[in-house]
Amino acid sequence: MVELFRVVRADKGAVLVLPADGLDGEHEPHRVTLDRDGLVGTEDGERLVPTVGDWLLVDETRASLRPRTTALVRDSAGATSRVQALAANIDVVLVVEHLDPDPDLGRIERMLTLAWRSGATPVVVLTKADLVPDPDGMTAEVAAVALAVDVHTVSVPTGQGLDALRALLVPGATLVAVGPSGAGKSTLVNALAGRDVMGTGERRADGRGRHTTTHRELVPLAGGAMLIDTPGIRGVGVVADDDALDTTFADVAALAQACRFADCHHAGEPGCAIRAALDRGELAERRFDSWQRLAREAAYQARRSDARLRAEERDRWKKVTKEYQRGLRGPGRPRP
């Protein structure tokens, strides 16, 4: 018999899972220990580190992963390691940013790129509307850099904007919240769950510092949707990719297309549409810089992953050649 489980938490060497028909917030997860290397095979022959949101198939003899439909990935350090999946099989990425202190537009653009890259739909959530005098004005500023993305402004203490977010919690949908530490992700998850499922940054009663989320966890909600809370993502290690960048920065990408030279560096070449837009004040320097920085990171990451692929290919050929030579010699045959 094959049983289907959802990974609600992934630790080194083990995962916590809930049965597919027990994702209603009323079941206790149970632990599945993984093979020594911590990897699980997929139906198409890959071996992956399971992550929150993965679907795990278990039969009498082995566990395997369903291929991921979407995945939020981050670049993991080291020249040889692969990207790390933060969450899998997600439908919506909530890009959470606070209005107080001021929202960081560059960080929002970075998180949107990460979100578009995942294959899921990004939604921006601006928190702490109760702490600022002009939340609508600030929302408009953010909306101007979050092209084609819904922007919700919320306050948990006043309840503002929460119903609009609840509308996203359709049965079977999986949402993941990303954002800097202190943005209010756990507070939001608790408000949407209607119960305290994640610790928040409120001062603890014993005065011993603040809680901060340390692990990723999938929280099944009563209505059949699932929410994943993540610890604050720091700027580094966000995986940029060209398609995701072109979506996040559709305005800049369209301008770049209009430059006279296809390989324009937008550094003073004649016929540069980006320079012209900057000069006319139609493109903000800040946004241009932000795009350039992420594009550089994307190029660097692409080169690095090419180098890794080449190294893997080399290793594969070494092995094949060795096996071939062994085959030529054959068992018991004398060396040539």
- Using CB under 6 A as the binding rule, whether residue 157 contacts ligand GTP is answered as yes
| CA atoms of 162 and 152, how far apart (whole Å) | 9
| CA atoms of 169 and 227, how far apart (whole Å) | 9
Contact mark string toward Zn ion, 188..227, x via CB under 5 A = ----------------------------------------
Residue 58's identity, in one-letter code, is V
User: Considering only residues 79-118, where is the footprint of ligand GTP by CB under 6 A?
Assistant: none
Partner touching 157 among ligand GTP, Zn ion, none, CB below 5 to 8 Å by kind: ligand GTP
- Using CB under 5 A as the binding rule, whether residue 138 contacts Zn ion is answered as no
Would you say 118 is a known binding-site residue? no
Would you say 130 is a known binding-site residue? yes
- Using CB under 6 A as the binding rule, whether residue 155 contacts ligand GTP is answered as yes
Q: Which H or E run contains 11? A: strand 3-11
Applying CB under 6 A, which of residues 186, 247, 248, 290 lies at the interface with ligand GTP? Answer: 186
* Nearest-approach distance from CB 256 to Zn ion, in angstroms: 6
CA triplet 34, 40, 42: central angle to 5 degrees? 155
| CA atoms of 142 and 237, how far apart (whole Å) | 23
CA-nearest of 297, 283, 206 to 252 is: 283
Would you say 266 is a known binding-site residue? yes
- Using CB under 5 A as the binding rule, whether residue 6 contacts Zn ion is answered as no
Among the residue ranges 136-144, 183-191, 289-297, 304-312, the one whose residues contact ligand GTP (CB under 6 A):
183-191
Convert 217-226 to b/e letters by CB count within 10 Å (16 or more is b). Answer: bbbbbeeebb
Is the CB of 73 or the CB of 264 nearer to Zn ion?
A: 264
CA-nearest of 254, 278, 259, 256 to 270 is: 259
User: Considering only residues 272-311, where is the footprint of Zn ion by CB under 5 A?
Assistant: 272, 274
| CA atoms of 29 and 172, how far apart (whole Å) | 18
CB-count exposure of residue 176 (10 Å: 0-12, 13-18, 19+): buried
Partner touching 274 among Zn ion, ligand GTP, none, CB below 5 to 8 Å by kind: Zn ion
Applying CB under 6 A, which of residues 29, 122, 161, 201 lies at the interface with ligand GTP? Answer: 201
Contact mark string toward ligand GTP, 206..225, x via CB under 6 A = ------xx------------
Q: How far is CA 200 from CA 46, 204, 227, in A?
A: 37, 9, 15
Residue set of the binding site: 127-130, 179-187, 259, 264, 266, 272
Residue set of the binding site for Zn(2+): 259, 264, 266, 272
Residue set of the binding site for GTP: 127-130, 179-187
